[in-house]
Chain A
Amino acid sequence: MNELILIFMPLVGAGIAVAWPNDRTRPWLLPVFGVAHTALVFWMLVNPPADAATAWLGFDPLARAVLPAVSLLFLACAAFGVSYLRLRAARPNRVFVAVLLAMLGLLSAAHQARHLGLLWITTEAVTLAAVPLLHFNGTPRAFEATWKYLLVGGTGIALSLLGSFCLGYASLHGGGSGDLTFAALTEHGVGMSRPWVLIAWVLLLVGYGTKMGLAPMHTWKPDAYGEAPGIVGAILAGGVTTVAFTAILRVRAVVDAAGEGAMASRTLLALGLFSMLVAALLLLATRDFKRMLAYSSVEHMGILVVAAAFGRAGAWAALFHVWSNSLTKGALFLSAGNIRRAAGGRTTDEVSGMSVITPHSAAIFVTGMFAVTACPPFGPFFSELRVLRTAIETGQGTAAALFLTALLFAFFGLTRLVFAVVDGRPRPVTKSGAKRVHETLGVILPPLALLGCSLWLGLATPEVLREAWTAAVEQLFPSP
C-alpha cells in the first residue's frame, strides 16, 4: 500500500498544482509534498515492508537502498524551488511545479518497478516529463538543448525497449512463459538463450547508458544541464540518472543469472573507465561552469558503472556512491544556479570574483567542488575509496590506475574552473547587476543542507543505510 502512496501522492500533488489558481502560493506545494514523500520513504527505510507488494511493483531492497536519496534530494530542491520561483515571478510556474511533482511520482515508480516493461514505461515517462522543465527559461538555446535531449534521449529509450524485447525473447526461446518480471527472469537463469541475452545486454546498456549519460552517449548532457535551471539539473543529475543506473543493475542481475556475468562486468568496466576519461578530458577543456557540472556528472556515472563491474563489494560501493553523488551534486547545482543568476554569464570569460558578490553561494560551491572531487571527509571520498579498494582487491590494477588518473584530471579541471569563477575581481557588468541580487536564506539553506548530508554520510554512515545497501547487494547477487 505504502509503495503506491509514494507514487500516487506526488501525482495527486501535480494535479492540485495544475488546478491551483495562484502563481505566488503554488510553489509551496513542492515542499509540502516533498516533506510528506521524504517522511514516508524514510519511515519505510527504517521499517521495510516484509514482502514486495506485487510482482510488478514494490519497495524491494534495491528501491529501499536508492529511493530515499532521491527523495531527500527532491526535498532540498523543493525548498529551493519556493525561493527560486519567487525570484522568477515573471514566468508562469503552473507547468513547472506540476511537472516537478509528477517527476517525483514517476521516479518513485521507476525505482520500484520490478517488471522489465514497467521499468521501461516509467523511464520513458520520466524522460518526457523532463522536457517542459528543460525549456523553462524559454530561450532559443534552451530549445536547442531540449531538442538534442529529446532526440538523443528518445533514441536511447527506443534502444532500451528493443533490448527489453530481446531479453523477453531470450526467455521465450529458452521455454519461458513470457513473464517479464525480474524475479521470473532471474529464476529462469541459464535456461535463457545466450545469444539473445548478449544482444539484450548490449542494447539495454546502450539505451539506459544514454539515459545515465555515459560517454559516448553523453552528448545531450552538457546542453541540457547548461541551459536548464539549477534545480532541474540537480534532479536530472541526482534522480533521473539513478533510475537508469538501478535499471542497469537489475538487468545485470538477470544477465548474471543467465551465466554471462563476467562479460557484463567487462563491458561495464570498459564503458565506465571510458566515460571517466572522456569526462576528465572535457573538464580540462571547458570554460563554462554549468557545463562543467554536466561533465562532472558524466564522470560520476562512470564511477558508478566501474563500481558495478566489481561484484558484490563493488555494488555496495556503487550504492554508497549513488547517495554521496546525488546529495553532493545537488548542493553544487543549486549553488551554481545562484552564482549564475547573480553573474548573468556562465563562462570564465564573463564571470569572476563571485566570492565578493555572492559570498555564501561561492563558499558552498567551492566546498561542494572539493566534496565532489573526493576530498575527505565528505561522502564521495569514502565511496570512491571503497571502489578503488575493491578494484585493487580483485586484482584490477590497470583499472585502478586509470580510475585514479581520471580522478586527478577531473580534479585539475574542476579546481581551475571553480577558482576562476570565484576568485579575482568582479566584472563591471556583474557588479552593476548585482545590486538586485540578494542571497536569501531560502536559496542558501537547501544546498547547505545537502552538503551537510554529504558530510554526515562520510563521517558517520548511518547503520540503517549500510544494512539497506547490504540487503540490496544480497538481492542483486544472491549468495549461494
Chain B
Amino acid sequence: MSPLVNIIVGLAMGLNLLALGSSRLPSVIRAMAVQGVLLGMLPLVIETDFDWMVMLVAVVTMAVKGVLIPTLLRRAMRAANIEREMEPFIGFVPSLLLGAAGTIAAIAGARALPLLTEHADTLLVPGALASVFTGFILLVGRAKAISQVCGYLILENGIYLFGMLLIHSTPLLVESGILLDLTVGVFVIGIIMDRIQRAFDSLDTRKLTALRE
C-alpha cells in the first residue's frame, strides 16, 4: 500500500487531537469535516485500478462527511446561538492527554494484533482505534449536544477507517448501506436537536436531567 495512505491516516489522527483540545465548536466541526474529506479520499488511494463504484463511494463520503453534515451542524449551532463548549465533564487538557495516551496505546496495541501482510505496515488499524477512542472521549466528556454529535461522527470515522481493511473483499452493497444509515442517523439527530432547542432554548444536555432515578 502506498505511503500516501499512512500520511492521510496520520493527518486524521492529528485532527482527532485537535478536536479534543479545542473549546470552540466551529473548530471541532471543521476538524471533523476535514477528517471526513480525508477519509473519503482513502478508497481512491487504496484502490489502484479505477472502479466507478469506488469512485462513487468516495465522492458520496466526501460530500456527506465533509459538506452536508458540517453544514447541518453549523446551522444547528447558529440556531442555538452557542459558540463554545463552556464546562465540559472532562476538561480540554485532560481529554487531550487522554487522547494522546489513547493514540499511543492504539499504535502499540495494533502491533500485538495479527494483520495480513498488506496491512501490517499501514496506520489503518491504529488510526481506527484512536478515532474510536477519541469519539468516546467526546461523547462522554462533553456537555453540549453538538460536541456529542461530533464525537459520534469521529467514532463513525474510526469505524470507516477499519472498514478500509475490508474494501477489497466485502461487497460494496454493505458499504453503501452504511453510508445511507449514517446520513439518516445524523438527519434524525439534527431534527431532534432542533426540537430539543425549541423545548429547552439551549443545546445543553446537562439540562436533560428530569429523568433521573
Contact = CB atoms under 8 A, between A and B. Distances in A.
A389 interface: no
Nearest to B113: A195
B165 A165 contact: yes
A131 interface: yes
A151 to B, nearest CB: 6
Interface stretch (A7-15, A173-181, A269-277, A326-334): A173-181
B114 A143 contact: no
A155 B210 contact: no
A146 interface: yes
Contact of A117 (B170, B185, B196): B170
Category for how many chain B residues contact A: 35 or more
Contact of A162 (B145, B148, B159, B184): B159
Per DSSP, are chain A's interface residues mostly helix, strand or loop, or mixed?
helix
Given A128-B181, A196-B113, A143 B170 contact: no
Given A178-B166, A178-B168, A146 B192 contact: yes
B208 A282 contact: no
A154 B185 contact: yes
The 3 A-B pairs of least Cβ separation, nearest first, read A178-B169, A117-B174, A140-B199
B159 A158 contact: yes
Contact of B208 (A117, A147, A161, A196): A147
Nearest to B165: A169
Interface of B: 113-116, 132, 139, 145, 148, 152, 155-156, 158-159, 162-163, 165-166, 168-171, 173-174, 177-178, 181, 184-185, 188-189, 192, 195-196, 199-200, 205, 208, 210-211, 213
B166 A169 contact: yes
Contacts of B213: 222, 282, 285-286, 291
A145 B208 CA distance: 9
A124 interface: yes
Contacts of A461: none
A150 interface: yes
**Interface size for chain A: under 10, 10 to 19, 20 to 34, or 35 or more residues?**
35 or more
Interface in A70-126: 117-118, 121, 124-125
B178 A154 contact: no
A144 B181 contact: no
B177 A121 contact: yes
Contacts of B210: 140-141, 144
B200 A150 contact: no
A162 B174 contact: no
Contacts of A144: 196, 208, 210-211
A131 B155 CA distance: 21
A150 B192 contact: yes
Given A117-B170, A161-B178, A178-B166, A147 B145 contact: yes
A135 B196 CA distance: 11
A223 interface: yes
A165 B175 CA distance: 11
8 contacts: A140-B200, A140-B210, A143-B199, A147-B205, A154-B152, A158-B156, A178-B170, A222-B213
Given A151-B139, A285-B213, A165 B159 contact: yes
A124 B174 CA distance: 13
